[in-house]
Amino acid sequence: MSDNKGTLEIRNLSKSFIVDNNPLQILNNISLSVSSGAFVTIVGSSGCGKTTLLRIMLGLENHYTGEALIDGKQIIGPGTDRGIVFQDHRLLPWLTVGENVAFGLDKLKQKEKKFLVDEHLKLVGLNGFESAYPYQLSGGMAQRVAIARALANKPEILLLDEPLGALDALTRMYMQQELERLWLLEKITMIMVTHDIDEAIYLSDKVVIMSSRPGVIKKIIDVQLSRPRDRASSDFMRIKAEILQEFHLGTEYPFAYAI
Amino acid sequence: MAKKFLQRLGLKDKLLAIIVPLLVLTAWQGAVSQKLCSELILTPPLTLLKTLLELAQSGDLTLNILASLKRVMIGFLFGGTSGFVVGILMALSPFLNRIFGPLIKALQQVPEFAWMPLIIMFLGIDEFAKYFFVAIGAFYPMVLNTYQGVSGVPEKYHELARVFEYKSFRYLFKVIIPSALPSIITGIRLSLGLSWMFVVGAELFGSDSGVGYLMTWGRSVFQIDLVMAGLILVGVIGFAMNFLLERAEKQFFLWREPVEGRHA
Amino acid sequence: MKKLHISKKTKRILGAIAVPIVFIAFWQLFILAGSPSARFLPSPYKVLQKFVILFSEPTYSHNIAVSLQRVMIGFFIGTLAGFLFGLLMGLSKTAEKIFAPFFHAVRQVPMIGWIPLIIMLFGMNELPRVLIISVAAFYPITLNTFSGVRNVPREYLELASVYGIKGIMLIRKIIIPAALPSITTGISLGLAMSWSVLMVAEIFIQTAFGIGTQIQRGRDRFDIALVLAGIITVGVLGYAMTVLVQKILTAVERGRVISTVK
């Protein structure tokens, strides 16, 4: 997007759930701003509220205090200006790959629909798979279809909720390269939740570190390495050590976490 | 279940599965022709075959089968469709579920055939009463399975529908019903099976056509071969309906992972 | 102001009975309003009165007793036969190959279809009634016993062979306990089928006593209240029996698990 679309602004956002009649604070005073076309990852241990934060951005969670704005407008419910890739690919098993990609394009004419489906399947490298059913795909392929489905709507922001969490290590690294390629190509804002620190450093301009109970933003680290990034470079390692420090995982054995 | 069983058998077993019934049939035929058992009590298989052929030649067979099938189809369409609609409404609206849920559960406790005398009192035993009775049989399994299917649609699909802004009918027809379809199809199968049973019951009660009528008529003229021929027809037609539905289901569910293939 | 506190359980019970009460109230109103289609329909109050009369007559309790006895005998025979037959087919592949095609073929005939034949063979007496009830229980119990026995985990059988457990001991100690959940499912289904077919038996094979007979008699006399009272009786008794057997089966299963653990 050439103009300044796809910006996100979160101001003093707090949210709590009611558990057994007691309020349980999930997010506490979160403030975050994401500029147009940036790649931002949110990392943190499980239970830090990072997924809840993403769901607020998506519009699936309401009832919070503070503000969440997309391009200056308050988020009210889901909308096609935001795409989502869930951890489970969430393809509908009764639709073919092509029909799944077209799921959000229902209002378009048949011709336009077909064009967009073809374009986006090609984009994720799955042209020729239109008539396959989800059960015939591998985990990585299914997740590519889910990405194509999200991008087919031409969102300004793509939200990714641990999209590669269920994949094996090698497929995962390959998919990280693919995500980077798509991001460079589409030039849209991407916000990803992950618990993989390498993944976060490899992909993002900004790494948002959250800690739990209640979820707060501990630190935001700018990653200013040139792309494509070398996972073994010393700069990469330095940033990784800096992040691990935040999780009190010490500097003595910085590699222990990577194994 | 029966088909799966046959698929599992090897060639030798298939022969065995054919030979054993053949032996039984031969023994049966032999027993009657050797006067070990009266022909009036147990019709031998060959006579039975002859009876069926005669029925087919005279046109009585087609006429009565068509009469029964017509009743099944009409009753099933009414009962099944209303069960489908009520099931969906109950699953989607907690309010309607509160109203219909306990009522249906209470009515379900009553064996269906207990309603028959009541229906006859109100409606007589004409065609309409038969449709109504079949419809009752078709209604219950359809309500229950549709309700279960629709209320069991995973939350993740509801979320997906919200994200892609699917609403009202589009939401119902593109997400909810496809997701509930396996359960709905089970409902259709059970529903059709019960419809068939009920049509035979209604015809036994009083009718001048149909497979059930064939049997009561056979009984009244004390022709046991007619009764047994009717019995075979009832079984074969019930089996055929189930079989066709299963075939249709396979065509319908191309998207499902073939389970049998995975285990083989 | 002090808030009226209603526990969740009370709320649930109130919610469950509210709808039937409203339904009955509407029914009564419908009749009081003198709707023309209500000419034949008795009011709930009349049905209640009918129940009061029925309870004072010995015939009613006798009808119930006869029906219960009938169902129990049929169900017991069907359960026993189904259990043994299912066990046999589950244990022996040969037995399965010989009997299964027959069993599945015969099973295709709906219960109601047998009525004219068994009346011709046995006449209108108690034997065909009990027979058809037991056949109704026989199918689901056979099927579930069979699949339960066939699906005993291989690990248990290997364990048994390691310890040299064979024959009757293997069946008693390993196979039946492992297949028990499936067998109890079959028994519950069988009971429901028996109860349902009881009505078929009593309505189609005329008899002097039974709840089905009572319903039929109501029809003959055009006494709709009597028919409705019969229908309600069948529903309530069927429900009570289902719950009772469910409780017993759960207790049996639990007892079995505990004694095995000990």
Chain B to chain C, count of Cβ pairs less than 8 Å apart?
146
Q: Does domain A1-81+157-172+186-259 have CATH number 3.40.50.300?
A: yes
Neighbors of chain A by Cβ distance (3+ pairs < 8 Å): B
Q: Is A114 on the interface with B (CB under 8 A)?
A: no
Q: What pLDDT sits at residue B118?
A: 86
Chain B's closest residue to C97, CA to CA, is: B17
Task: Judge C/A contact: 3 or more CB pairs < 8 A.
Answer: no
pLDDT of residue B21: 74
Place of tokens 């027979």: C131
Q: Which long-range contacts (CB under 8 A, 24 or more apart) does C25-34 make?
A: none
Q: Name the helix (H) or strand (E) containing C260.
A: helix C224-261
pLDDT value at B5 more than 80: no
C29 band by pLDDT with thresholds 50, 70 and 90? confident
Query: DSSP states of C163-195 as a string?
Result: TT--HHHHIIIIIHHHHHHHHHHHHHHHHHHHH
The pLDDT value recorded for residue B262 is 34
Tell me if C199 and B227 make a contact (CB, 8 A cut-off).
no
- Band of residue C261 on the pLDDT scale cut at 50, 70, 90: very low
Most confident stretch, A125-129, B153-157, C205-209:
B153-157
Chain A residues within 8 A of B163 when measuring between CB atoms:
58-60, 78, 84
Q: B202-257: per-residue pLDDT in tens?
A: 998 888 899 999 888 888 888 888 888 888 899 889 888 888 888 888 877 777 76
Who has greater pLDDT, A8 or A18? Answer: A8
Average pLDDT over residues C11-27: 75
Q: What is the DSSP string of B70-129?
A: HHHHHHHHHHHHHHHHHHHHHHH-HHHHHHHHHHHHHHHTS-GGGHHHHHHHHHTTSHHH
Out of B163, B178, B179, whose CB is closest to A78? B163
Q: Which among A66-75, A103-112, B77-86 has the top mean pLDDT? A: B77-86
Rg, chain A, Cα only: 19
Q: Is the pLDDT of residue A239 over 70?
A: yes
Is B255 within 8 Å of A90 when comparing Cβ atoms? no
**Domain ranges across chain A:** 1-81+157-172+186-259, 88-154
CB of C197 within 8 A of CB of C171? no
B partners (3+ CB pairs within 8 A) are A, C
Mean pLDDT in residue range C170-198: 89
Domain residue ranges in chain C: 42-261
Name which of B115, B117, B200 is nearest C216 (Cβ-Cβ).
B117
Q: Determine whether the interchain pair B255/A133 forms a contact, defined as Cβ–Cβ distance below 8 Å.
A: yes
Give the 3-state secondary structure of residue A186: helix
Q: Which residues of chain A neighbour B178 with C-beta distances below 8 Å?
A: 92, 94-95
Neighbour-count burial of C39, counting CB atoms closer than 10 A to its CB (0-12 exposed, 13-18 middle, 19+ buried): exposed
pLDDT of the residue at C1: 45
B132 in Cβ contact with B75 (< 8 Å): yes
Which residues in chain C (15-54) have CB-CB distances under 8 A to chain B?
A: 15-16, 19-20, 23, 40
User: Does B196 sit within 8 Å of C120, measured CB to CB?
Assistant: no
Q: Which helix (H) or strand (E) holds B12?
A: helix B11-33
- In this structure, which amino acid lies at residue C22? V
The confidence band for A1, taking pLDDT boundaries of 50, 70 and 90, is: very low
Q: Does B155 touch chain A (CB under 8 A)?
A: no
Of the candidates C113, C219, C238, the beta carbon closest to that of B234 is on C113
d(CA B196, CA C67): 26
Tell me which residue of A212, A251, A242 sits closest to A224, measured CA to CA.
A242
Mean pLDDT of C129-154: 92
B175 touches chain A (CB under 8 A): yes
- Sequence-distant (6+) residues with CB within 8 A of B203 are B68, B71, B130, B209, B210, B211, B212, B213, B216
Q: Do chains B and C touch (3 or more CB pairs under 8 A)?
A: yes
- All structural domains of chain B, each given as residue ranges with its CATH number in brackets, are 62-263 (1.10.3720.10)
* pLDDT (0 to 100) of residue B80: 95
The tokens for A169 are 């290590």
**Least confident window among A80-89, A109-118, B22-31, C61-70:** B22-31
Nearest by CB: B156 against A58, A79, A90: A90
Q: Which amino acid is at A128?
A: G
Whether residue B8 has pLDDT greater than 80: no
DSSP A126-160: -TT-TT--GGGS-HHHHHHHHHHHHHHT--SEEEE
**Which residues in chain B have Cβ-Cβ distances shorter than 8 Å to A148?**
none
d(CA A46, CA B59): 74
- Flag if C101 and B20 touch (Cβ within 8 Å): yes
Minimal Cα distance from B175: which residue of A?
Answer: A92
| Facing B231 at nearest CB: one of C16, C113, C218 | C113
Strand order of the β-sheet with A216-222 is: A82-85, A157-161, A189-194, A39-43, A206-211, A216-222
pLDDT band of residue C139 (cuts 50, 70, 90) is very high
Q: Which CATH number fits domain C42-261: 2.60.40.10, 1.10.3720.10, 1.10.1200.10, 3.50.50.60?
A: 1.10.3720.10
From the candidates C26, C115, C139, C214, which should be mutated to test the interface with B, based on the most B CB atoms within 10 A? C115
Looking at the predicted structure, is the pLDDT value of residue C3 above 90?
no
